[in-house]
Structure 1
Amino acid sequence: MAEITTRLSIGQVAEHTGLSVHALRFYEREGLFIHSVQRGPGGRRVYSRDDVEWLTVCIILRASGMPLPMLRRYADLVREGAGNEEERLALMREHHEHVTTQIGRLTESLDLIRFKVGVYEDLVAQGGTAHQCHAPSPSTDEERTPLLRHEAVVE
Protein backbone atom coordinates (compact mmCIF):
# COMPACT_ATOMS: atom_id res chain seq x y z
CA MET A 1 0.00 0.00 0.00
CA ALA A 2 1.32 3.43 -0.90
CA GLU A 3 2.22 5.96 1.77
CA ILE A 4 -0.82 7.94 2.86
CA THR A 5 -0.34 11.69 2.53
CA THR A 6 -1.75 14.18 5.00
CA ARG A 7 -4.60 15.37 2.77
CA LEU A 8 -6.51 12.82 0.73
CA SER A 9 -9.38 13.18 -1.70
CA ILE A 10 -12.47 11.04 -1.37
CA GLY A 11 -11.25 8.95 -4.32
CA GLN A 12 -7.88 8.35 -2.66
CA VAL A 13 -9.54 7.32 0.60
CA ALA A 14 -11.83 4.98 -1.32
CA GLU A 15 -8.76 3.40 -2.93
CA HIS A 16 -6.89 3.08 0.39
CA THR A 17 -9.81 1.64 2.36
CA GLY A 18 -11.68 -0.35 -0.26
CA LEU A 19 -14.86 1.56 0.55
CA SER A 20 -16.77 3.14 -2.28
CA VAL A 21 -17.13 6.91 -2.57
CA HIS A 22 -20.84 6.36 -1.86
CA ALA A 23 -19.99 4.41 1.33
CA LEU A 24 -17.65 7.18 2.51
CA ARG A 25 -20.40 9.75 2.11
CA PHE A 26 -22.79 7.39 3.91
CA TYR A 27 -20.35 6.99 6.84
CA GLU A 28 -20.12 10.77 7.07
CA ARG A 29 -23.92 11.22 7.00
CA GLU A 30 -24.29 8.54 9.68
CA GLY A 31 -21.91 10.38 12.02
CA LEU A 32 -19.30 7.64 12.05
CA PHE A 33 -16.25 9.88 11.74
CA ILE A 34 -14.51 11.04 14.90
CA HIS A 35 -13.84 14.50 13.45
CA SER A 36 -15.83 16.42 10.90
CA VAL A 37 -14.58 15.74 7.41
CA GLN A 38 -12.74 18.84 6.28
CA ARG A 39 -13.49 20.62 3.03
CA GLY A 40 -10.89 21.93 0.67
CA PRO A 41 -11.12 24.60 -2.01
CA GLY A 42 -14.33 24.23 -3.95
CA GLY A 43 -15.99 22.36 -1.06
CA ARG A 44 -14.42 18.98 -1.85
CA ARG A 45 -13.88 16.57 1.02
CA VAL A 46 -10.32 16.33 2.33
CA TYR A 47 -9.38 13.45 4.63
CA SER A 48 -6.49 13.11 7.05
CA ARG A 49 -4.38 10.10 7.99
CA ASP A 50 -6.39 9.94 11.26
CA ASP A 51 -9.63 9.76 9.25
CA VAL A 52 -8.28 6.79 7.29
CA GLU A 53 -7.06 5.05 10.45
CA TRP A 54 -10.47 5.52 12.07
CA LEU A 55 -12.19 4.22 8.92
CA THR A 56 -10.04 1.10 9.18
CA VAL A 57 -11.41 0.51 12.70
CA CYS A 58 -14.95 1.06 11.41
CA ILE A 59 -14.43 -1.34 8.50
CA ILE A 60 -13.17 -4.07 10.83
CA LEU A 61 -16.01 -3.58 13.31
CA ARG A 62 -18.61 -3.62 10.52
CA ALA A 63 -17.03 -6.74 9.00
CA SER A 64 -17.36 -8.40 12.41
CA GLY A 65 -21.08 -7.72 12.34
CA MET A 66 -21.28 -4.63 14.54
CA PRO A 67 -24.60 -2.93 13.76
CA LEU A 68 -24.51 0.67 12.58
CA PRO A 69 -26.28 2.05 15.68
CA MET A 70 -23.67 0.38 17.91
CA LEU A 71 -20.82 1.67 15.72
CA ARG A 72 -22.36 5.15 15.80
CA ARG A 73 -22.57 4.99 19.60
CA TYR A 74 -18.93 3.89 19.77
CA ALA A 75 -17.92 6.80 17.50
CA ASP A 76 -19.89 9.18 19.73
CA LEU A 77 -18.09 7.89 22.82
CA VAL A 78 -14.67 8.19 21.20
CA ARG A 79 -15.56 11.69 19.98
CA GLU A 80 -16.53 12.70 23.54
CA GLY A 81 -13.03 11.83 24.74
CA ALA A 82 -11.85 10.56 28.09
CA GLY A 83 -14.23 9.73 30.91
CA ASN A 84 -16.52 7.21 29.23
CA GLU A 85 -14.18 4.23 29.09
CA GLU A 86 -16.55 2.06 31.13
CA GLU A 87 -19.28 2.54 28.53
CA ARG A 88 -16.83 1.84 25.70
CA LEU A 89 -15.75 -1.32 27.53
CA ALA A 90 -19.36 -2.46 27.96
CA LEU A 91 -20.04 -1.86 24.29
CA MET A 92 -16.95 -3.81 23.23
CA ARG A 93 -17.74 -6.65 25.65
CA GLU A 94 -21.23 -6.93 24.18
CA HIS A 95 -19.84 -7.06 20.67
CA HIS A 96 -17.13 -9.50 21.74
CA GLU A 97 -19.86 -11.87 22.96
CA HIS A 98 -21.71 -11.49 19.65
CA VAL A 99 -18.57 -12.25 17.62
CA THR A 100 -17.66 -15.20 19.84
CA THR A 101 -21.13 -16.69 19.33
CA GLN A 102 -20.87 -16.06 15.60
CA ILE A 103 -17.49 -17.81 15.46
CA GLY A 104 -18.97 -20.81 17.31
CA ARG A 105 -21.79 -21.07 14.80
CA LEU A 106 -19.41 -20.74 11.88
CA THR A 107 -17.12 -23.38 13.37
CA GLU A 108 -20.07 -25.71 13.71
CA SER A 109 -21.06 -24.99 10.11
CA LEU A 110 -17.51 -25.69 8.98
CA ASP A 111 -17.55 -29.00 10.86
CA LEU A 112 -20.69 -30.04 8.98
CA ILE A 113 -19.24 -28.90 5.65
CA ARG A 114 -16.03 -30.84 6.27
CA PHE A 115 -18.08 -33.92 7.10
CA LYS A 116 -20.11 -33.52 3.89
CA VAL A 117 -16.94 -33.04 1.82
CA GLY A 118 -15.53 -36.25 3.28
CA VAL A 119 -18.72 -38.17 2.50
CA TYR A 120 -18.80 -36.94 -1.08
CA GLU A 121 -15.10 -37.60 -1.57
CA ASP A 122 -15.64 -41.18 -0.40
CA LEU A 123 -18.69 -41.61 -2.66
CA VAL A 124 -16.90 -40.20 -5.69
CA ALA A 125 -13.80 -42.32 -5.02
CA GLN A 126 -15.98 -45.45 -4.75
CA GLY A 127 -18.07 -44.53 -7.78
CA GLY A 128 -21.21 -44.60 -5.64
CA THR A 129 -24.27 -42.42 -5.52
CA ALA A 130 -25.66 -40.49 -2.60
CA HIS A 131 -28.87 -41.68 -1.01
CA GLN A 132 -28.97 -40.27 2.46
CA CYS A 133 -26.15 -38.86 4.47
CA HIS A 134 -26.74 -37.70 8.00
CA ALA A 135 -24.79 -35.14 9.93
CA PRO A 136 -22.24 -36.48 12.38
CA SER A 137 -23.61 -37.05 15.85
CA PRO A 138 -22.22 -34.55 18.33
CA SER A 139 -20.50 -36.01 21.37
CA THR A 140 -23.06 -34.38 23.65
CA ASP A 141 -26.20 -32.62 22.50
CA GLU A 142 -25.84 -29.95 25.17
CA GLU A 143 -22.52 -28.80 23.75
CA ARG A 144 -23.88 -28.19 20.24
CA THR A 145 -26.31 -25.69 18.85
CA PRO A 146 -29.47 -26.85 17.04
CA LEU A 147 -27.64 -26.86 13.69
CA LEU A 148 -26.16 -30.32 14.22
CA ARG A 149 -28.96 -31.77 16.34
CA HIS A 150 -31.02 -32.45 13.22
CA GLU A 151 -30.40 -34.85 10.39
CA ALA A 152 -29.05 -33.39 7.18
CA VAL A 153 -30.02 -35.17 3.99
CA VAL A 154 -27.66 -35.18 1.02
CA GLU A 155 -29.51 -34.20 -2.12
Structure 2
Amino acid sequence: MTVTEVPPEGLTISAAAEMSGLSIDTLRYYEKEGLTLHRPGRSPSGQRRYSEDNLRWLATLVMLRRTGMPIRDIKRFVELYRVDGSEADRLAILEAHRVHVLEQLAEVQTHLEAINRKIDYYTSAVTEGK
Protein backbone atom coordinates (compact mmCIF):
# COMPACT_ATOMS: atom_id res chain seq x y z
CA MET A 1 0.00 0.00 0.00
CA THR A 2 1.43 3.36 -0.97
CA VAL A 3 0.10 6.32 0.95
CA THR A 4 1.59 8.98 -1.30
CA GLU A 5 -1.64 8.94 -3.29
CA VAL A 6 -3.75 10.32 -0.43
CA PRO A 7 -5.22 13.74 -1.21
CA PRO A 8 -5.04 16.43 1.50
CA GLU A 9 -8.74 15.98 2.32
CA GLY A 10 -8.16 12.26 2.89
CA LEU A 11 -9.78 9.20 1.40
CA THR A 12 -13.30 7.90 1.78
CA ILE A 13 -13.76 4.64 3.64
CA SER A 14 -14.28 2.88 0.29
CA ALA A 15 -11.01 4.22 -1.10
CA ALA A 16 -9.19 3.44 2.16
CA ALA A 17 -10.56 -0.10 2.08
CA GLU A 18 -9.41 -0.57 -1.49
CA MET A 19 -5.97 0.89 -0.80
CA SER A 20 -5.44 -1.15 2.38
CA GLY A 21 -6.87 -4.38 1.04
CA LEU A 22 -9.36 -4.50 3.91
CA SER A 23 -13.12 -4.49 3.70
CA ILE A 24 -15.21 -1.52 4.78
CA ASP A 25 -16.63 -3.68 7.58
CA THR A 26 -13.11 -4.50 8.78
CA LEU A 27 -12.18 -0.81 8.83
CA ARG A 28 -15.27 -0.04 10.89
CA TYR A 29 -14.51 -2.97 13.20
CA TYR A 30 -10.91 -1.85 13.71
CA GLU A 31 -12.13 1.65 14.56
CA LYS A 32 -14.82 0.33 16.93
CA GLU A 33 -12.33 -1.95 18.70
CA GLY A 34 -9.81 0.86 19.15
CA LEU A 35 -7.24 -0.66 16.81
CA THR A 36 -6.81 2.50 14.78
CA LEU A 37 -4.22 4.83 16.21
CA HIS A 38 -6.46 7.82 15.58
CA ARG A 39 -10.06 7.88 14.46
CA PRO A 40 -10.34 9.01 10.86
CA GLY A 41 -11.47 12.57 10.36
CA ARG A 42 -14.88 13.46 9.03
CA SER A 43 -15.94 15.46 6.01
CA PRO A 44 -18.47 18.29 6.46
CA SER A 45 -21.15 15.74 5.55
CA GLY A 46 -19.92 13.38 8.30
CA GLN A 47 -18.22 10.87 6.00
CA ARG A 48 -15.03 9.24 7.31
CA ARG A 49 -11.85 10.60 5.72
CA TYR A 50 -8.64 8.60 6.05
CA SER A 51 -5.35 10.51 6.18
CA GLU A 52 -1.86 9.32 5.24
CA ASP A 53 -1.22 8.62 8.94
CA ASN A 54 -4.40 6.52 9.15
CA LEU A 55 -3.32 4.51 6.11
CA ARG A 56 0.23 4.00 7.38
CA TRP A 57 -1.20 2.64 10.62
CA LEU A 58 -3.61 0.40 8.68
CA ALA A 59 -0.58 -0.99 6.82
CA THR A 60 0.93 -1.90 10.20
CA LEU A 61 -2.33 -3.58 11.27
CA VAL A 62 -2.50 -5.51 8.00
CA MET A 63 1.08 -6.70 8.43
CA LEU A 64 0.48 -7.81 12.02
CA ARG A 65 -2.74 -9.66 11.10
CA ARG A 66 -1.12 -11.35 8.11
CA THR A 67 1.59 -12.68 10.39
CA GLY A 68 -1.14 -14.18 12.57
CA MET A 69 -1.00 -11.80 15.51
CA PRO A 70 -4.25 -12.15 17.47
CA ILE A 71 -6.53 -9.11 17.69
CA ARG A 72 -6.11 -9.04 21.50
CA ASP A 73 -2.33 -8.66 21.09
CA ILE A 74 -2.73 -6.00 18.43
CA LYS A 75 -5.15 -4.16 20.70
CA ARG A 76 -2.63 -4.26 23.55
CA PHE A 77 0.12 -3.06 21.20
CA VAL A 78 -2.07 -0.13 20.08
CA GLU A 79 -2.94 0.76 23.67
CA LEU A 80 0.74 0.77 24.56
CA TYR A 81 1.61 2.76 21.43
CA ARG A 82 -0.48 5.59 22.84
CA VAL A 83 1.57 5.60 26.07
CA ASP A 84 4.89 7.43 26.15
CA GLY A 85 7.71 5.30 27.48
CA SER A 86 6.03 1.98 26.63
CA GLU A 87 8.60 0.97 24.03
CA ALA A 88 9.90 -1.95 26.13
CA ASP A 89 6.40 -3.38 26.48
CA ARG A 90 5.71 -2.96 22.76
CA LEU A 91 9.04 -4.63 22.00
CA ALA A 92 8.09 -7.55 24.25
CA ILE A 93 4.84 -8.06 22.33
CA LEU A 94 6.68 -8.04 19.00
CA GLU A 95 9.43 -10.36 20.26
CA ALA A 96 6.86 -12.85 21.59
CA HIS A 97 5.04 -12.72 18.29
CA ARG A 98 8.30 -13.24 16.40
CA VAL A 99 8.84 -16.47 18.36
CA HIS A 100 5.37 -17.62 17.31
CA VAL A 101 6.01 -16.72 13.65
CA LEU A 102 9.35 -18.53 13.69
CA GLU A 103 7.65 -21.64 15.11
CA GLN A 104 5.05 -21.48 12.33
CA LEU A 105 7.78 -20.99 9.75
CA ALA A 106 9.66 -24.06 11.01
CA GLU A 107 6.47 -26.11 10.85
CA VAL A 108 5.75 -24.99 7.28
CA GLN A 109 9.37 -25.76 6.33
CA THR A 110 8.93 -29.29 7.71
CA HIS A 111 5.76 -29.71 5.65
CA LEU A 112 7.52 -28.39 2.55
CA GLU A 113 10.33 -30.89 3.02
CA ALA A 114 7.77 -33.71 3.26
CA ILE A 115 6.05 -32.51 0.08
CA ASN A 116 9.43 -32.34 -1.70
CA ARG A 117 10.17 -35.94 -0.64
CA LYS A 118 6.82 -37.05 -2.07
CA ILE A 119 7.47 -35.14 -5.30
CA ASP A 120 10.88 -36.80 -5.59
CA TYR A 121 9.29 -40.22 -4.99
CA TYR A 122 6.57 -39.72 -7.57
CA THR A 123 8.96 -38.13 -10.07
CA SER A 124 11.12 -41.26 -9.82
CA ALA A 125 8.06 -43.52 -10.09
CA VAL A 126 6.81 -41.70 -13.18
CA THR A 127 10.26 -41.59 -14.80
CA GLU A 128 10.98 -45.28 -14.12
CA GLY A 129 7.51 -46.26 -15.31
CA LYS A 130 8.09 -44.80 -18.77
Q: Provide TM-score, normalisation by structure 2.
A: 0.90
Specify the alignment match of 1:148 in structure 2: none
Which sections of structure 1, spanning at least 5 residues, go unmatched? 129-155
Cα contact 1:35–1:79 (8 A) shared by 2? no
Length, aligned pairs only: 127
2:31 aligned with 1:28, yes or no?
A: yes
Measured in 2, the distance between the counterparts of 1:75 and 1:30 equals 11
2:117 aligned with 1:115, yes or no?
A: yes
Aligned partner (choices 62, 79, 96) of residue 76 of structure 1: 79
Specify the alignment match of 2:97 in structure 1: 95
The AA in structure 2 aligned to 1:118 is: D
| RMSD of aligned residue pairs (Cα, Å) | 1.5
Runs of 4+ in 1 over 3 A off after TM superposition: none
Q: Provide TM-score, normalisation by structure 1.
A: 0.77
| Structure index of larger Rg | 1
Measured in 1, the distance between the counterparts of 2:27 and 2:121 equals 45
Identity of counterpart residues, as a percentage?
Answer: 38
Aligned partner (choices 13, 21, 40) of residue 10 of structure 1: 13
Which sections of structure 2, spanning at least 5 residues, go unmatched? none
Displacement of 1:49 in angstroms is: 0.3
Measured in 2, the distance between the counterparts of 1:118 and 1:75 equals 47
Measured in 1, the distance between the counterparts of 2:128 and 2:27 equals 53
Larger RCO (CA within 8 A; separation ≥ 6): 2
